[in-house]
Amino acid sequence: MILKDILAISGEPGLFRFIAQGKNAIIVEHLETGRRSSAFSSAKVSSLEDISIFTEDEDIPLGKVFDKIFEKENGGPTVDPKAAVNDLKKYFEEIVPDYSKDKVYVSDIKKLFHWYNILQKKDLLIKEEPEATPEVAPEIKEAPVSEKKIKKSAPKKKKSAE
């Protein structure tokens, strides 16, 4: 998923889209209301691209988790984040079977499902296209070095002022 410009701001509900960089703050737009506001440097702002889910082996980026949910739901919305805690845990375990049960809290799971549903409603769940490998240029063979010796000229002597 392309999540670079989608932001979560600590203490603010919902998700935001990055609009511009101001002098002392960034200008963001709330995805659900469309209202623009400033997020000052004192606010903890996180790009969804930088967030990952703890697992027993290695962390999984949030975009890959959203991809798995998208495939499971065939592009539709996921479970309601206000569902029963056991249902949320069971569903999340189907998506990420080896998630760290000690580090990933129920509040994190609820937030993840809420964010997914917001992005799905706004049609922002776009898979990243794998980068095409650039075509390799044909090799250029170097011309053989001439065996002739190049004469170096001696440095010119400065004329002294008489």
DSSP per-residue string spanning 15-40? -EEEEEE-SSEEEEEETTT--EEEEE
| Tens digits of residue pLDDT in 1-28 | 578 889 999 988 899 999 999 888 999 9
pLDDT at residue 114 above 90?
yes
| Tens digits of residue pLDDT in 134-152 | 555 445 445 555 444 545 5
Other Cβ atoms closer than 10 A to 78? 19
Is 131 or 13 the better-scoring residue by pLDDT? 13
> Quick check: 121 and 75 in contact, CB under 8 A?
no
Let me know the angle formed at the C-alpha of 85 by 82 and 89, rounded to the nearest 5 degrees.
Answer: 110
Burial class of 119 by CB neighbour count within 10 A (0 to 12, 13 to 18, 19+)? buried
pLDDT at residue 128 above 90?
no
**Six-digit token pair at 28?**
């963001």
Angle between helices 106-121 and 85-95 (to 10 degrees): 70
Q: Which fold has domain 6-121?
A: Arc Repressor Mutant, subunit A (1.10.10)
> Quick check: 47 and 64 in contact, CB under 8 A?
no
> Quick check: 110 and 92 in contact, CB under 8 A?
no
Collapse the DSSP code of 13 into the 3-class scheme (helix H, G, I; strand E, B; otherwise coil) and give the result.
coil
Half-sphere exposure of 75 (CA within 13 A, CB side): 5
Amino acid at the residue 131: E
Let me know the angle formed at the C-alpha of 86 by 14 and 15, rounded to the nearest 5 degrees.
Answer: 10
Give this prediction's pTM.
0.74
